Amino acid sequence: MQRKRFIVELGTGADLHGMDVTKAACRAVRDAIGRSCLCGLVEILGKSRFEGVHVAVRIACPFPDQIDEEKVLAEIPIGTRSLTAVLGGMLADGICVDAFGRDCDTIIVANAAVTVSVDPSSVN
């Protein structure tokens, strides 16, 4: 059966000192899921049962081919997961402090759209 969207949440993350697109993407996903309370899922599916839940992550960042998909998807605590990375985000001028790492004069920003869907046949 076709999944039904339950929630879509947006997040932003940055790596200030290192141009690590995966770090920025992970922070964007944490930002999105950190502002979501999925109490409806718990009430519909049961407190510890999340069968039929799928979480789709879409990341927009300057270097989508450099994202470590496993690390980003590890930020999602429930359900099956998928990731799509597209060109977007932002590069901004930063300030280089040698102690903070290489390539630290450019800030990399990633945006995340996290969509939680439910398979209706898994509902009690």
Find the CATH number of the domain harbouring 107: 3.30.1330.20
* Single-letter code of the amino acid located at 46: G
- Residue 103: predicted pLDDT: 58
Whole-number Cα distances in Å, 104 to 16, 18, 98, 101? 7, 5, 8, 6
- As averages over each run of 10 residues, the pLDDT of the chain (124 residues) reads 90 92 98 89 74 94 98 95 98 80 80 94 73
Which phi-psi region, left, alpha or beta, contains residue 89 (left: φ > 0; alpha: ψ -120 to 50)? Answer: left
Domain containing residue 111? 4-122
How many structural domains compose the chain? 1
Instruction: Report yes or no: 61 and 111 within 8 Å, Cβ to Cβ.
Output: yes
- Residue 87: predicted pLDDT: 98
The CA distance from 76 to 84, in Å, is: 14
- Residue 124: predicted pLDDT: 62
Matching residue, tokens 């049961």: 46
pTM of the full structure: 0.89
- Residue 111: predicted pLDDT: 98
Q: Give the H or E element holding residue 108.
A: strand 106-118
The CA distance from 73 to 84, in Å, is: 11
**Residue 82 three-state SS:** strand
- Residue 102: predicted pLDDT: 61
